[in-house]
Amino acid sequence: MASKVIQALYNDDDVLMHAVKKVRAEHHHIEEVYTPFPVHGLDKAMGLADTRIAITSFLYGCLGLTVAIVMMNYIMIEDWPQDIGGKPSFSYLENMPAFVPIMFELTVFFAAHLMVITFYLRSRMWPFKKAENPDKRTTDDHFLMEIGLNDNENELADLLWETGAVEVKVTEKES
Amino acid sequence: MYTFSNKLRLGSFIAMGLGFIFLVIGFMSAPSTVEEAKAMVAVHDDGHGGGHAEAATEAHGDQGHGEQASHGGEHDASHDEHLLHQLQNRPWSALYVAAFFFFMISLGVLAFYAIQRAAQAGWSPLLFRVMEGITAYLVPGGIIVFVILLLSVLHMNHMFVWMDSEVVAHDELLQGKAGYLNPTFFLIRAAIFLGGWIFYRQYSRKLSLAQDESDDNTNFVKNFRWSAGFLVFYLVTESMMSWDWIMSVDPHWFSTLFGWYVFASMFVSGITVIAMVTVYLKSKGYLEDVNDSHVHDLAKFMFGISIFWTYLWFAQFMLIWYANIPEEVTYYVARFQDYKLPFFGMLALNFVFPLLVLMNSDYKRINWFVIMTGIVVLFGHYLDIFNMIMPATVGDQWFIGLPEIGGILFFGGLFVYWVFTALTKAPLQPKRNPFIEESRHFHY
């Protein structure tokens, strides 16, 4: 089903921030805001929920640490406890200092890479993905706010002009 | 202006008084003859034996006799002499560890302060007066440490064996190091280090106060230049100080990253104390413009430098453990055998605890979380200094008893009294630092 949206373009991030606050105060639902660079505080103004990606990263780190410990315990202690240069391979704890560099690196490796992959999946980014860009200018120097329409076109357009938009247009959107 | 609350002042006096009494008891109960030392250890052993089954005690006693009989009389005498020195060292070491610990806190804060000035940090100028208050302890603390070192040179104790000319006469390694480790040069170096640090602290404080009253920024610029210069001086002298005052209690042992390791310990303790004093003053309503974000930044520093400390601790430990060269590894063998709990306990307090507690961004903003972690971190770093000094001076005769607690109480009380008195001397918010507006609106 195709639905109608109204798009307002701004050319200043300060003006955009005020517009977002005003539109939210009027209880209109902002579907999306497109900006060429991160606008500090925009997520708070839009009322977006905090990201949980740090928590996933912590869990991935724990997984990496576990993998490192289980792997080295099996290889170095259980499977073939060879005497290599007099290092005590009797138990994991006795030889642990030698394993710490790998434990550390695998923790960081898992935490970093799996978090990045999580980010790609959650934000739907991959090679050959079709760009979802309503207006080319938003990658350079314009900011675009998009609001869903339910038969209140004129009222919304007036509001958006009032907030300092440089351009307001109504388009069909595939959803 | 801050007014020193009567409760806190009374508390600091009580701590000083109690600590002083404990220290005096510690010094009085140290043995003065070999017989007394042997008797003390015997009583201690009996106390332990009471807890075990009687048969075990007897068996243990028999074993002891057998061992004694097998040794030559001469060896026995030198062992007793050694034991006497260890027991005599205990109150001295307790005094020294506590004196150095509180001194190093204010020195760590001074380094942090100089970095903030040299880096022209925008968030911290609101906290400069708090830092200046804490570094005020550098003067009495530094003098006390110097006096303890002077008394060691005058042979009032046996903490630094290389100061004993008789020991050096029979020890070629110490003779080889005598060019650096000799009492006169040692004291001259200590005087230069302390003189430089105290000079920078006093001069920077003067410029900081003058900046409030002036109508241009020349004092600020001067302070920036002196801070940058101080950091160069500090890095060299701090490293040498750690060889002189700490590493030389084990004069046969050496480690190249020791200076950094001691630095990390003092830096994290210093930052922790800044955070704790800030939270305290804010809770009393004195630092209105300090917000959650400042506390969050300090807690981030506590977290990061705790991990930096662990990194250095592990780098030093693992290199020595891995290569296992006998002349280096004795240092850790002594700690593994006789200091298991403080040695590994400090790792839990200084690494695992802050790692888990301060990782969450929200927790770093909760004041009581910061205070609680601060207490744990400070205790952990006291143990760190304890583990550096004690194994070399008292060996397996260590215990955290009256003299150790007395040292902490006495110097803790003095520290609190001196720092909070210094805080009353100037307004807690600098008036016209060029970055003060940025600092007031700091938000993370």
Query: How sure is the predictor about A1, in pLDDT bands with cuts at 50, 70 and 90?
Result: very low
DSSP β-bridge partners for residue A144: A9, A34
The verdict on residue A45 lying in a domain is: no
- In this complex, is the C-beta atom of A48 within 8 Å of any C-beta atom belonging to chain B? no
Q: Is residue A42 part of a domain?
A: no
A104-132: per-residue pLDDT in tens? 999 999 999 999 999 999 999 999 999 98
User: Would A129 be classed as within a structural domain?
Assistant: no
Is residue A148 very low, low, confident or very high in pLDDT (cuts 50, 70, 90)? confident
* pLDDT band (50, 70, 90) for residue B167: confident
Who's near B95: CB < 8 A, 6+ residues apart? B23, B148, B403, B407
pLDDT of residue B70: 44
Q: Which residues contact B375 (CB under 8 A, 6 or more apart)?
A: B276
Same domain, A104 and A69: yes
Position A48 confidence tier, pLDDT thresholds 50, 70, 90: very high
**Range of B186's domain?**
6-33+86-441
Is the pLDDT score of B238 beyond 80?
yes
Residues of B in contact with A86 (CB under 8 A): 324
Joined tokens for residue A151 = 């038969």
Task: Judge whether A103 lies within some domain.
Answer: yes
Q: Which of residues 341-370 of B touch A (CB under 8 A)?
A: 359, 361
Res B274: pLDDT: 96
∠ CA(B252), CA(B256), CA(B257), 5° rounding? 125
- Do residues A79 and A111 both lie within one domain? yes
Average pLDDT value for residue range B410-438: 93
Q: Facing residues of A33 across strands?
A: A145
> Is B38 a domain residue?
no
Query: Domain holding A27: CATH number?
Result: 3.30.70.260
Which residues in chain A have their CB less than 8 angstroms from residue B321's CB? 97
> Which residues of chain A does B324 touch, with a Cβ-Cβ cutoff of 8 Å?
86
Is the residue at A165 inside a domain? yes
In a shared domain, residues A70 and A29? no
Asked whether residue B76 carries a pLDDT value surpassing 80, the answer given is no
Q: Please tell me whether residues A61 and A19 are part of one structural domain.
A: no
Report yes or no on A41 lying in a domain.
no
A46 assigned to some structural domain = no
pLDDT at B74 over 70: no
Indicate the burial class of B362 (C-beta count within 10 angstroms; 0-12, 13-18, 19 or more).
Answer: exposed
φ, ψ dihedrals at A169, nearest 5°: -140, 155
Using the Cβ of B318 and the Cβ atoms of chain A, whether some distance falls under 8 Å is answered with yes
Q: Which domain range does residue A14 map to? A: 4-36+138-172
**What is the distance between the alpha carbons of residues B393 and B405, in angstroms, rounded to a whole number?**
18
> What is the percent of chain A with per-residue pLDDT over 90, rounded to a whole number?
77
Instruction: List CB contacts (< 8 A) between B361 and chain A.
Output: 54
Rounded to an integer, the average pLDDT of B49-78 is 46
Which residue in B306, B282, B284 sits closest to B293, CA to CA? B282
Please check whether residue A133 lies inside any domain of the structure. no
Tally of structural domains, chain B:
1
Average pLDDT value over all residues in chain A: 92
Q: How many structural domains compose chain A?
A: 2
Amino acid identity for residue B3 in this structure: T
Nearest to A123 by CA among A46, A51, A42: A51
B125 found inside a domain: yes
Average pLDDT over residues B291-308: 95
pLDDT at B64: 40
Same domain, A116 and A86: yes
Q: Is residue A149 very low, low, confident or very high in pLDDT (cuts 50, 70, 90)?
A: confident
Q: Output the pLDDT for position B79.
A: 83
A38 CB near a chain B CB, below 8 Å?
no
Chain B touched by A65 (CB under 8 Å): no
Q: How confident is the model at residue B166 (pLDDT cuts 50, 70, 90)?
A: confident
Burial of B346 (0-12, 13-18, 19+ CB in 10 A): buried
Min Cα distance B253 → chain A (Å) is 21
User: Are residue A117 and residue A144 in the same domain, yes or no?
Assistant: no
Q: Is residue B286 part of a domain?
A: yes
Residue B188 has pLDDT above 80, yes or no: yes
Give the pair of three-digit tokens for residue B369: 């979380």
Confidence of residue A154 (pLDDT cuts 50, 70, 90): confident
Query: Does the pLDDT of residue B50 top 60, yes or no?
Result: no
Q: Compute how many other C-beta atoms are within 10 angstroms of the C-beta atom of residue B214.
A: 14
In three-state secondary structure terms, A63 is helix
Q: Determine contact, residues B301/B373, Cβ cutoff 8 Å.
A: no
- Per CB-CB distance under 8 Å, the chain A contacts of B317 are 97
DSSP B360: S
ipTM: 0.89
Instruction: List, in order, residues 6 or more apart from B315 with CB less than 8 Å away.
Output: B257
Whole-angstrom distance, CA of residue A18 vs CA of residue A20: 5
pLDDT at residue A3 in the model: 80
Comparing C-alpha atoms, which of B320, B417, B428 is closest to residue B11?
B417
Give B105's contacts (C-beta < 8 A, 6+ positions apart).
Answer: B134, B137, B266, B269, B270, B273, B415
Q: Quick check: is B49 in a domain?
A: no
Measured in angstroms, the CA of B348 and the nearest CA of chain A are apart by: 16
**pLDDT at site B112:** 97
Query: Which tens digits make up the pLDDT trace of A53-110?
Result: 999 999 999 999 999 999 999 999 999 999 999 999 999 999 999 999 999 999 999 9
Are B316 and B258 within 8 A, CB to CB?
yes
Instruction: For residue range B260-270, list pLDDT tens digits in order.
Output: 999 999 999 99
pLDDT tens digit sequence for B113-156: 999 999 999 999 999 999 999 999 999 999 999 999 999 999 98
Q: Which residue of A has its CA nearest to B318?
A: A97
Phi, psi at residue B73, to the nearest 5°? Answer: -60, -35
Q: What is the mean pLDDT of chain B?
A: 90
For residue B67, CA distances in Å to B32, B47, B76, B81, B86 come to: 26, 21, 10, 18, 21
> Do residues A31 and A76 both lie within one domain?
no
